[in-house]
């Protein structure tokens, strides 16, 4: 008798490695490795979370009805076409499980979010990466990779870890080039941070097409990654499919309560956005002046080039030694870069000070 073996593809998955959260023997000054939202959660969300403790014996609302209604009101969307999930990761995974299987292809761009190829391999499908141009998804290169096996196309907009984005015209051109039976998943985890006129999160396209879904999260600007809460907005047909496949109580009680409170605290969300509007360009400029190569970003993080793998690792070690935790992104095929989350004023200034000394030493 041989041991149980998993379905084909699963052993090809390199497990996702989350950002580090501590440095051995060092006090952590700032965890800037997971884009968690500089200001943390809204105090109102924390209060709602604490209050939920009194109801922990109750099952949560199975279809997150009040939360969906609150999201619908907040973003002006039909709540019937929203599904909430345990992080947008859960929904991205469900979409791939529902629409992709053995022999199928999932298309993404070379430096796209790592969970896309992981989800594809998990269902026995083949992840297909299209090359990027200047660390930005290339619509023509993606369309050139579409085959009759393509079932799902995943694009993060803005993209993590590069911070680049596709304009609304780019996304529409990508969609227009896809066959109607291919599902386009627009992962807009950082949409709330973007203030460009030529950007849209995907809502408009979802409303116009049967084969487009947008996913969103409470983990980034809302600062609630620890709770695991995300949502998707899609056409009725896709929503019906995912509602059949998802677990009946996939979003916990405390997350639903905190999510509703977080949406209502507009001042907190605005403060988070303002923090980013100030310190993202500031840190990018400072790092450029130090001779590093920060890529243009519209997210709450910046991808910084150090010229070589050795120097990127040395810079990471240097920052960690100062209690500042960046993200190594070699797993994305970017060994010469570090991704640094935009923290508070004190945190980004600590990064600048640390890398100033690094630049002198090296
Ligand atoms: C952080 C992130 C997610 C996952 O968010 P959760 O809602 O916490 O699962 C999805 N996509 C991208 C591009 C991200 O950076």
Q: Is the pLDDT of residue 222 over 90?
A: yes
Assess if residue 229 is contained within a domain.
yes
CATH number of the domain where residue 334 is located = 3.90.1150.10
Instruction: Single out the residue of 79, 55, 75 nearest to residue 255, CA to CA.
Output: 55
| pLDDT grade for 60, boundaries at 50, 70 and 90 | very high
Q: For 309-320, write each residue's pLDDT tens digit.
A: 999 999 999 999
CB of 161 closer than 6 A to ligand 1?
A: no
Q: Total domain count for the chain?
A: 2
Q: Is the pLDDT of residue 362 over 70?
A: no
Q: Which domain holds residue 99?
A: 43-264
> What is the pLDDT of the chain when averaged over all its residues?
97
From the CA of 159, give the closest atom in ligand 1.
13
Q: If you search the block for the tokens 């999160």, which residue do you land on?
A: 201
Q: Distance, CA 225 to ligand 1 centroid (Å)?
A: 9
Q: Distance, CA 278 to ligand 1 centroid (Å)?
A: 23
Q: Is the pLDDT of residue 217 over 70?
A: yes
Q: If you search the block for the tokens 């992840």, which residue do you land on?
A: 127
Same domain? For 251 and 217 the reply is yes
Same domain? For 148 and 249 the reply is yes
**Which residues, 6 or more positions from 332, have their beta carbon under 8 angstroms from its beta carbon?**
111, 114, 161
CB of 275 closer than 6 A to ligand 1?
A: no
Q: Is the pLDDT of residue 52 over 80?
A: yes
Same domain? For 349 and 251 the reply is no
Same domain? For 202 and 75 the reply is yes
Assess if residue 176 is contained within a domain.
yes
Q: Is the pLDDT of residue 23 over 90?
A: no
| pLDDT grade for 16, boundaries at 50, 70 and 90 | confident
Same domain? For 71 and 156 the reply is yes
Same domain? For 248 and 289 the reply is no
- Note the pLDDT of residue 183: 98
| pLDDT grade for 305, boundaries at 50, 70 and 90 | very high
Q: Label the pairing between strands 105-109 and 126-130.
A: parallel
Same domain? For 243 and 199 the reply is yes
Q: What is the DSSP letter of 179?
A: -
CATH number of the domain where residue 226 is located = 3.40.640.10
CB of 225 closer than 6 A to ligand 1?
A: yes
Same domain? For 284 and 217 the reply is no
> Of the residues 198, 232, 264, which one is the last residue of a structural domain?
264
Q: Is the pLDDT of residue 323 over 90?
A: yes
Same domain? For 285 and 217 the reply is no
> Of the residues 232, 264, 296, which one is the last residue of a structural domain?
264
In contact, 96 and 120? CB cutoff 8 Å: yes
Spatial separation of the C-alpha atoms in residues 18 and 35, rounded to whole Å: 11
Spatial separation of the C-alpha atoms in residues 333 and 49, rounded to whole Å: 38
From the CA of 158, give the closest atom in ligand 1.
13
Residue 113: φ, ψ to 5°: -60, 135
Say what percent of the chain tops pLDDT 70: 99
CB of 37 closer than 6 A to ligand 1?
A: no
**Which residues, 6 or more positions from 208, have their beta carbon under 8 angstroms from its beta carbon?**
none
Q: Is the pLDDT of residue 116 over 90?
A: yes
Spatial separation of the C-alpha atoms in residues 148 and 306, rounded to whole Å: 40
CB of 188 closer than 6 A to ligand 1?
A: no
pTM: 0.97
**Which residues, 6 or more positions from 151, have their beta carbon under 8 angstroms from its beta carbon?**
99, 100, 101, 104, 105, 106, 125, 181, 182, 183
Spatial separation of the C-alpha atoms in residues 97 and 66, rounded to whole Å: 27
Lowest-pLDDT range of 23-32, 52-61, 118-127, 141-150: 23-32
Q: Distance, CA 57 to ligand 1 centroid (Å)?
A: 29
Spatial separation of the C-alpha atoms in residues 125 and 298, rounded to whole Å: 31
Q: Label the pairing between strands 324-325 and 30-31.
A: parallel
Q: Distance, CA 169 to ligand 1 centroid (Å)?
A: 24
- Note the pLDDT of residue 20: 85
Question: Which residue's C-alpha comes closest to atom 14 of ligand 1?
Answer: 189
Q: Distance, CA 291 to ligand 1 centroid (Å)?
A: 30
Assess if residue 4 is contained within a domain.
no
CB of 36 closer than 6 A to ligand 1?
A: no
Q: Distance, CA 2 to ligand 1 centroid (Å)?
A: 38
Q: Distance, CA 115 to ligand 1 centroid (Å)?
A: 9
Q: Is the pLDDT of residue 1 over 80?
A: no
Summarize the confidence of residues 298-314 as an average pLDDT: 98
């Amino acid at each position: 008798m041989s041991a149980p073996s998993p379905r084909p593809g699963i052993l090809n998955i390199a497990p996702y490695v989350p950002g580090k959260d501590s440095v051995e023997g060092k006090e952590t000054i700032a965890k800037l490795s997971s884009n968690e939202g500089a200001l943390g959660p809204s105090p109102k969300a924390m209060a709602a979370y604490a209050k939920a403790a009194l109801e922990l014996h109750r099952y949560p609302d199975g279809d997150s009805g009040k939360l969906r209604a609150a999201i619908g009101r907040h973003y002006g969307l039909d709540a019937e076409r929203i599904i909430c999930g345990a992080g947008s990761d859960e929904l991205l995974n469900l979409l791939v499980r529902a629409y992709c299987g053995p022999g199928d292809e999932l298309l993404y761009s070379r430096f796209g979010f790592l969970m896309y190829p992981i989800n594809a391999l998990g269902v026995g499908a083949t992840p297909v990466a299209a090359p990027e141009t200047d660390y930005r998804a290339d619509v023509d290169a993606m369309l050139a990779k579409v085959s009759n096996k393509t079932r799902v196309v995943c694009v993060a907009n803005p993209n993590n870890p590069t911070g680049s984005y596709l304009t609304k015209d780019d996304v529409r051109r990508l969609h227009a080039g896809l066959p109607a039976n291919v599902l386009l998943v627009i992962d807009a985890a950082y949409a709330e941070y973007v203030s460009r006129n030529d950007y849209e999160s995907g809502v408009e396209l979802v409303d116009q097409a049967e084969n487009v879904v947008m996913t969103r999260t409470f983990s980034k600007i809302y600062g609630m990654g620890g709770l695991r809460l995300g949502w998707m907005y899609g056409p009725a047909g896709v929503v019906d499919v995912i509602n059949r496949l998802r677990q009946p109580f996939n979003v916990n009680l405390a997350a639903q309560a905190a999510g509703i409170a977080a949406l209502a605290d507009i001042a907190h969300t605005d403060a988070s956005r303002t923090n980013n509007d100030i310190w993202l360009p500031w840190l990018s400029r400072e790092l450029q002046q130090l001779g590093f190569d920060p890529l243009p970003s519209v997210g709450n993080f910046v991808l910084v080039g150090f010229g070589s793998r050795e120097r990127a690792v040395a810079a990471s070690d240097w920052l960690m030694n100062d209690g500042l935790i960046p993200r190594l992104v070699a797993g994305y095929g970017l060994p010469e870069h570090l991704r640094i989350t935009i923290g508070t004023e004190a945190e980004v200034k600590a990064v600048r000070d640390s890398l100033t000394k690094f630049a002198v030493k090296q």
